[in-house]
A and B are shown apart, each in its own frame.
Chain A
Amino acid sequence: MMLTAEQARELALRAVGLTHADGAEALVTSEDAALTRFADNRIHQNVAESDTGISVRAVVGKCMGVASTNRLDDTSLAACCERAVAAARLAPEDPDFPGLPSPMEVVTPDRVHPSVRAFDASARAEAAAAIIAQSALRDLTAAGTVSATEYTVAVANSLGVNVGMGVSTVRSTVLSMSANGGSGWASHLSGAAGDFSPTALGDEAALLALRSDGAVSLDPGVYTVVLAPEAVSDILDFLGYLGLGAKPYAEESSFLSGKIGQKLLSPLISITDDATSAETLGLTFDFEGMPKQRTPLIDAGVGRSPVTDSYWAAKLGLPNTGHALPAPNPYGPMPMNLEIAAGDARIEDMIGAVKRGVYVTRFHYVNVEDPVRAILTGMTRDGTFLIEDGRLAQPVKNLRFTQSAVDALNAVEAVGKKRTLIGPEDGGANLAPALLLSNWEFTGQTR
Chain B
Amino acid sequence: MRELIDRALQAASAAGASYADVRVVHTTQENLSARNGVVEGVSTSESLGIGVRAIASGSWGFAATSSLESDAVVDVARQAVAIAKASALTTRTPVELSALPAYNDSWEGPCRIDPFTVSLDEKLDLLLAADAALRAEPAVKIAKGALGFIRVEKTFGSTIGSFIEQKYTESAAGITAYAIEDGEILPRSYPNSHGGQAVQGGWEAILALDLPGNAVRVAEQAAGLISAAPCPSGTKTIVIDGPQLALQVHESIGHPTELDRVLGDEAAFAGTSFLTLEDLGVLQYGSEHVTVTSDATIPGSLGSFGYDDEGVPAQRDFIVKDGLFTGFLSSRESAVRIGRESNGCMRADGWNRTPLVRMTTLSLEPGGWSLPDLIADTEDGIYMETNNSWSIDDRRLNFQFACEIGWEIKNGELGKMIKNPNYTGITPQFWNSCDAVCSADHWQVWGIPNCGKGEPMQVAHVAHGAAPARFRDVQVGVGR
Q: Which of B41, B51, B121 has the most CB of A within 10 A?
A: B41
Q: Assess the B456–A33 pair: CB atoms within 8 A.
A: yes
Which chain B residues numbered 452 to 470 have a C-beta less than 8 Å away from chain A? Answer: 455-457
A428 within 8 A of B: no
Within 8 A of B (CB), among A121-144: 121-122, 124-126, 128-129, 132, 141, 143-144
Contact among A69, A375, A398 for B398, CB-based, below 8 A: A398
Q: Given the interface contacts A328-B42, A379-B398, A425-B456, does A129 sit within 8 Å of B90 by beta carbon? A: yes
Asked whether B215 is an interface residue with its Cβ less than 8 Å from the other chain, the reply is no
Q: Is the CB of A398 within 8 A of B394?
A: yes
B282 surroundings in chain A (CB, below 8 A) = none
Report if A70 contacts B (CB, 8 A): yes
Please name all residues of chain B whose beta carbon is closer than 8 Å to the beta carbon of A34 when the two chains form the complex: 83
A400 touches B398 (CB 8 A): yes
A37 in the interface, Cβ–Cβ < 8 Å?
A: yes
Q: Is B389 an interface residue (CB 8 A)?
A: yes
| Residues of chain B within 8 A of A37, CB atoms compared | 455
Q: Which of A65, A381, A444 contacts B43 (CB 8 A)?
A: A65
Chain A positions 402-447 with a Cβ under 8 Å from a chain B Cβ: 402-403, 425, 441, 443-447
Interface residues on A, range: 35 or more
B318 interface residue (CB < 8 Å to A): no
Within 8 A of A (CB), among B388-436: 388-395, 397-398, 400, 402, 420, 422, 424, 426
Residue of A whose beta carbon sits closest to that of B388: A369
Distance of A403 Cα from B400 Cα, bound (Å): 13
**Binary contact readout B78-92 vs A (1 if CB under 8 angstroms, 0 otherwise):** 010011101101111
Which residues of A lie under 8 Å from residue B42 when comparing CB positions? 64-66, 87-88, 90-91, 328
Place the interface of chain B in its size category. 35 or more
- Residue-wise, chain A 102-135 has the 8 Å CB interface mask toward B (1 for contact) of 0000000000000000001110111011001000
- Minimum C-beta distance from B86 to chain A (A): 4
Complex Cα–Cα for A209 and B268 (A): 13
A35: contacting residue among B124, B393, B420, B455, CB under 8 A: B455
Contact A43 B90 (CB under 8 A): yes
B3 within 8 A of partner (CB): no
Stretch at the interface among A173-181, A287-295, A352-360: A173-181
Question: Does B44 lie at the interface of the complex (its beta carbon under 8 Å from any beta carbon of A)?
Answer: yes
Which among A46, A364, A425 has the highest number of chain B CB atoms within 10 Å? A46
Tell me, yes or no, whether A329 is within 8 Å of chain B by CB. Answer: yes
Is the CB of A38 closer than 8 A to any CB of chain B?
A: yes
Residue B49 at the chain A interface, CB threshold 8 Å: yes
Contacts of B298 in A (CB 8 A): none
Contacts of B124 in A (CB 8 A): 90-92
Q: How does the 8 Å CB contact mask read for B53-95 relative to A, with 1 for contact and 0 for none? A: 0000001111111110000000010010011101101111000
Interface string of A64-98 (1 = CB under 8 A from B): 11111111000000001001100110111011100
* Most chain A CB neighbours (cut-off 10 Å) among B92, B124, B185: B185
**B479 partner, pick from A43, A66, A375, beta carbons under 8 A:** A375
CA distance A70 to B50 in the complex (A): 12
A321 interface residue, CB < 8 Å from B?
A: no
A368:B389 contact, CB within 8 angstroms: yes
* CB proximity of B328 to chain A, nearest CB, Å: 17
Segment at the A interface, from B157-165, B218-226, B259-267, B364-372 = B259-267
What 1/0 mask marks residues of chain B from 261 to 293 whose CB sits below 8 Å from any chain A CB?
A: 001111111010010000000000000000000
A70 lies within 8 A of B391 (CB) = no
The smallest beta-carbon distance between B252 and chain A, in angstroms, is 12
Q: Give Cα A124–Cα B83 distance, bound, in whole angstroms.
A: 10
Bound: A128/B361 CA distance, A: 35
In the complex, the chain A residue whose C-beta lies closest to that of B457 is: A425
Candidates A125, A371, A400; contact of B424 at CB < 8 Å = A400
Residues of B within 8 A of A124 (CB): 86
Q: Are A51 and B456 in contact (CB under 8 A)?
A: no
Query: What residues of chain B lie closer than 8 Å to A38, measured between beta carbons?
Result: 90
* Residues 305-357 of B at the A interface (beta carbon under 8 Å): 352-354
Complex contact A122–B86 (CB within 8 A): yes
The reply on A252 being an interface residue by CB < 8 A is yes
Decide: A132 and B65 in contact? CB cutoff 8 A. Answer: no
Q: Is A99 an interface residue (CB 8 A)?
A: no
Q: Which of B142, B184, B393, B420 has the most CB of A within 10 A?
A: B393
Q: Is the CB of B66 within 8 A of A51?
A: yes
List A contacts of B398 (CB < 8 A): 379, 398, 400, 444-447
| Interface membership of A313, Cβ < 8 A | no
A46 in contact with B46 (CB, 8 Å)? no
Residues of B within 8 A of A122 (CB): 86, 89
Q: A367 CB to closest chain B CB, in angstroms?
A: 5
Q: B83, A46: Cβ atoms under 8 Å?
A: yes
> Which residues of chain A have C-beta atoms less than 8 A from B266's C-beta?
39
Complex CA distance for A327 and B39, rounded to whole angstroms:
13
Contact, CB under 8 Å: B268 / A48: no
The residue in chain A whose Cβ has the minimal distance to the Cβ of B251 is A365
B7 within 8 A of A: no
> Contact between B479 and A39 (Cβ–Cβ < 8 Å)?
no
A180 CB, min distance to chain B CBs, angstroms: 14
CB–CB B86/A327 < 8 A: no
Name the contact of B180 in the complex, choosing from A48, A252, A330, A443 (C-beta under 8 A): A252
In the complex formed, the residue of A with least CB distance to B480 is A402
Asked if A446 and B91 make an inter-chain contact with CB atoms under 8 angstroms apart, the answer reads no
Scoring B51, B64, B400 by chain A CB atoms within 10 A of each residue's CB, the highest score goes to: B400
Q: Which chain A residues border B353 with CB–CB below 8 Å?
A: 47
Closest to A32 in B: B65
Is A366 in the interface zone, CB < 8 Å from B? yes
B98 within 8 A of partner (CB): no
Q: Assess whether B183 is interfacial by the CB under 8 Å rule.
A: yes
**B38 at the A/B interface (Cβ < 8 Å)?**
yes
- Residue A50 interfacial (CB < 8 Å): yes
Residue of B nearest to A149 (CB): B456
The 8 Å CB contact of B354, one of A42, A45, A445, is A45
Whether B66 and A52, one on each chain, are in contact in the complex, defined by CB atoms closer than 8 angstroms, is: yes
Q: Which residue of B lies closest to A120 (CB)?
A: B86
- Residues of chain A with a CB closer than 8 A to B113's CB: none
CB distance from B466 to the nearest CB of A (A): 20
User: Which residue of B44, B82, B92, B120 is within 8 Å of A67 (Cβ)?
Assistant: B44
Q: Cβ of A348 < 8 Å from any Cβ of B?
A: no
Q: In the complex, what distance in Å separates the CA atom of A402 from the CA atom of B67?
A: 47
Contact A379 B185 (CB under 8 A): no
Closest CB of chain B to A115's CB: distance in Å?
18
| A367→B391 contact, CB < 8 A | yes
Contact A68–B43 (Cβ < 8 Å): yes
List residues of chain B with CB within 8 A of the CB of A296: none
Chain B residues within 8 Å of A, Cβ to Cβ = 31, 33, 35, 38-49, 51, 59-67, 76, 79, 82-84, 86-87, 89-92, 119-121, 124, 128, 141-142, 178, 180, 183-185, 263-269, 271, 274, 352-354, 388-395, 397-398, 400, 402, 420, 422, 424, 426, 455-457, 475, 478-479
Query: Which 4 pairs across A and B sit closest by C-beta, in order of nearness?
Result: A328-B41, A402-B479, A121-B86, A446-B398
6 A-B pairs with C-beta separation under 8 A: A38-B90, A48-B79, A143-B267, A330-B40, A381-B394, A447-B274
Further pairs besides A41-B92, A46-B83, A49-B352: 4, Cβ < 8 Å: A40-B263, A68-B46, A69-B45, A80-B46
